[in-house]
Amino acid sequence: MEGKYHILYVDDEADNLAVFKGFFKKHYVISTALSAEEAIQILENEQVDLVVSDQRMPRMTGVEMFERIRKRYPDIIRIILTGYSDLQAVIDAINKGKVYHYLAKPWNPEELKIILDNSLESYTLKQLSRRLVEENAELSLAAERREKANILSQFELLKSQINPHFLFNSMNILAALIPEDPAKAVEFTTRFSKVYRRLLELREQPLVTLEQETEFVDSYLFLQKMRFSESLQIDIDIPQEVLRQYCLPPFTLQILVENAIKHNVVAAEQPLRIRIAWLPGGKLEVGNNLQLRGTPVPSTGLGLNILKSRFELISHEPVEFIQTDGQYIVRVPLIEEG
């Protein structure tokens, strides 16, 4: 019997049950019940695919039974039989019992077999469709979880790169300060410890507010100006109401400012001017006058690679790099708070 559909036939006349079973037992697994109550008990204990029921039965009609079982077994196919030309029974069967088919008695075996086969085919397709939807949902969820885990893994890797990168470049500044101005080198070390502590706090966050980011880059620029004084000029033009409206990965501005200082001449006769500005439409622009060093500074490109990779993980908009004859501009997309 494995692989056969299970049909339950309900009728208060035992002869009808016997005839039905005799006709269809070679095609399906057949169970029979003399009452709606007995049918409900069978449904509680066995897996049934389709129920055929007589309408006129004592205590509970076929429609009343279907109305009860469809709430608990909504997927079971339901077919109603009646020997009376009762239009209301047909309407009730459709509206209340949500039957698949209505058939008048006496039924024709060949006709009923076609109806049973069609209804079970519909049942199979419905079950298959549901399984495919569920499997697709499970696959989508699994893919989403994998993608999230992958993003978190990549983000952790990028965060781990920021720490030594910042430390390495700050130590270069300190090394340059020591022979030039030992007193400033000592002050730089004190200030640096405070900035570095702040870095350790922010690096644990995937995003920080624009306000937090500008506060951090202000501290970082203070260290830079200890070395370059008025040779380094900074203009930050961001409306106050925007500072808490947008977010971005921590140290975005620090990386861009550091990149500008590293690759350009910073001197009293050639001051480096860096401008940080908010652009309508949710972008931030960091630009500087282009005055490249005569001897290129050795660079791994790690800072900008970190920056591009982090934005690729959180935004569909790319980081833009624009170079003209006199300017170098970077535009990064901002993430709206919440």
Which domains, and CATH codes, for the chain?
Answer: 6-107 (3.40.50.2300), 158-336 (3.30.565.10)
Is 70 exceeded by the pLDDT of residue 209? yes
Which DSSP category does 73 fall into? Answer: -
Tell me what pLDDT residue 145 has. 66
Rounded Cα gap, residues 274 and 218, in angstroms: 12
Q: pLDDT confidence of 300, banded at 50, 70, 90? A: low
Across-strand partners of 9?
32, 52
Is 70 exceeded by the pLDDT of residue 182? yes
pLDDT winner (highest mean) among 47-51, 103-107, 202-206 = 47-51
Q: pLDDT confidence of 164, banded at 50, 70, 90? A: low
Q: pLDDT confidence of 151, banded at 50, 70, 90? A: low
Q: pLDDT confidence of 56, banded at 50, 70, 90? A: confident
Residues contacting residue 78 through CB under 8 Å, at least 6 positions apart = 50, 51, 53, 66, 69, 70, 97, 98, 99, 100
Is 80 exceeded by the pLDDT of residue 129? no
Q: pLDDT confidence of 6, banded at 50, 70, 90? A: very high
Tell me what pLDDT residue 1 has. 42
Q: pLDDT confidence of 157, banded at 50, 70, 90? A: very low
Average model confidence (pLDDT) for the chain? 81
Amino acid of residue 246: Y
Is 80 exceeded by the pLDDT of residue 117? yes
What string of DSSP letters covers 48-107?
-SEEEEES--SSS-HHHHHHHHHHH-TTSEEEEEESS--HHHHHHHHHTS--SEEEESSP
Is 50 exceeded by the pLDDT of residue 40? yes
Between these two residues, 255 and 107, which has the higher pLDDT value?
A: 255
For the stretch 84-105, pLDDT in tens is: 555 565 655 565 546 767 777 7
- C-alpha to C-alpha distances, 152 to 27, 75, 155, nearest whole angstrom: 56, 41, 5
Token pair 């698949």 is found at 100
Across 258-275, average pLDDT: 93
Amino acid of residue 138: E
Which DSSP category does 174 fall into? Answer: H
Across 219-242, average pLDDT: 89
Is 60 exceeded by the pLDDT of residue 54? yes
Across 293-305, average pLDDT: 71
Per DSSP, the three-state class of 163 is: helix
Across 185-195, average pLDDT: 83
Name the percent of the chain in helix, strand, coil, to the closest 5. 55, 20, 25
Per DSSP, the three-state class of 306 is: helix
Is 90 exceeded by the pLDDT of residue 267? yes
